[in-house]
Structure 1
Amino acid sequence: MMMVNTSSTCATTRLTQCRDFGVYMNDVTKKFLRDPEQAPDLSEADFMARKNVIEQVSEWSEGIGAEWPPILYLYEIVKASAKRERDWGHLIFTDLTTTRFLLVMIFPEECDCGNFSHHDYGALTKYQADRFMSLLKYLYHTENKPAWVRATYVTKKNGFTLDPPFLQTFDPPTNSGKIFHVTADTFVPSLLSNELESIDALLKQSGKSVPKTMRYQVLGDKDTRPDVSAVWKAKNARQCAQCEKISTKDLMCRLTHYCSRECQTLAWPSHKVFCKKVPKA
């Protein structure tokens, strides 16, 4: 039986698996039925906040007789692509057609220090919605094309409670305040060239490819990044795939983090099959 790593942070892998193996196999609900101590990749506060949101969406979906399983609870566009804090997305829910998605960002309480503000929270949430739709357009370019991504954010101040309009209707709400509704026609292309190369390399492992013409529909540039405070621009520390040390240093390897040229060289014989340049479609 095919096993799915529901703790994976790679959104490209998860979305591909949803279409290949079905949504149910990618449902992360079970992770949040356990104690926080059994989820070492999340702090207790982050675990409980996500659990709260998942329960709200579950209660709502039961009330309307539909299913909206959570498929990601912390994600980056493709493996090793989240270089800074602003690059991480949080909760993703999907309907069973994998054409409609809910995105919920979970942020600290707002403060007067300038690091945590509702202006940044709104900008980051919209940014993640555009990036996720860009990824959906790129991966789901044939059948059952993506319809929309609806995004919002919650904080401890409101008990991590979703605003009622976020779940009340499938009609697009006006983009204002904390709710952002992005469609396949209105999204801002936001994937970078190196991210698309990494996605192509990952897809190649399973014999998949995307037509070159799709690249120009989702390709953005660094100007699409939100202007946010320094705390969101801080580099992420990662574990080196070779020596396992934690470091913010990162060499340009498509799908794996290495802390030094020496580690990358040592790992190359076994890693090169996954990392060689993908031929142009």
Structure 2
Amino acid sequence: MKLLRVGPAGGERPVLLSDDGVHHDLSGLTGDIDGRFLATGGPARAARALAAGTLPELAVPDGTRVGAPVARPGKIVCVGLNYRDHAAETGAAEPDEPVLFMKAPNTVVGPHDTVRVPRGSTRTDYEVELAVVLGGTARYLDSPEQARDLVAGYAISNDVSEREFQLDRGGTWDKGKSCETFNPLGPWLVTADEVGDPQDLGLRLWVDGELRQNGTTKDMIFSVAHVIWYVSRFMVLEPGDVINTGTPAGVALGRPDAPYLRAGSVVELEIDGLGRQRQVCEDAE
């Protein structure tokens, strides 16, 4: 099942996209696709309503804005250096434990919204990532197997990064990861049952039509389930929280011949079964 939110920023409407390509209005079931909806069996209720034929169809004209598929995530936890080829391209050793950092929740924007290159930036980078959205609470899990039942679904994430801010300006990585618009998410939240094995998905990213990243989640050092279990040892994950699980090789940081993003750059991303994103970059005012 594919869940999404359409409409102007701050006024999105919750929608279910059925397999036949028809949009169905979820407003009668929930005010939004958020942590509460996910924690209280909302996706299952939506599926039952669809099967019963009680969800009204919704006309979504071409050009309608698509928002992030999850409203107001409480936190965004990210995993660095989680692909073997990406660790190699940056000259880093494969980590013994997941490398964690945070992104500010208000970095989340829609999958086709503008990405703003920060003031003074010369090294704004792109990262196609599999995002995991929690549907239950993860606290001191006993094993990775427990994590599987806590996943509401998956989405595409662009973990946009400013490398100078991240690596050369002191402190943690967060300042290079939390600039405004630095986490396009969506277009859909695809429920876990439809995705199947999250460790068998292809990821691709283009900049101005050039294929820059072409990887697979098979190359992850730490699996989705392992990451959720691991994070739960250090913080409580709650419904609606997002985990960005890392990026494959091909980022500008690892390719001296590949220019960083600038105003006018067009970034396109896709992951098998999760749809496609497209962003045009502009300078922050």
- With normalisation by structure 2, the TM-score equals 0.23
**Higher helix fraction (1 or 2):** 1
Taking CA–CA contacts closer than 8 Å with sequence separation of 6 or more, which of the two structures ends up with the larger relative contact order? 2
**Higher strand fraction (1 or 2):** 2
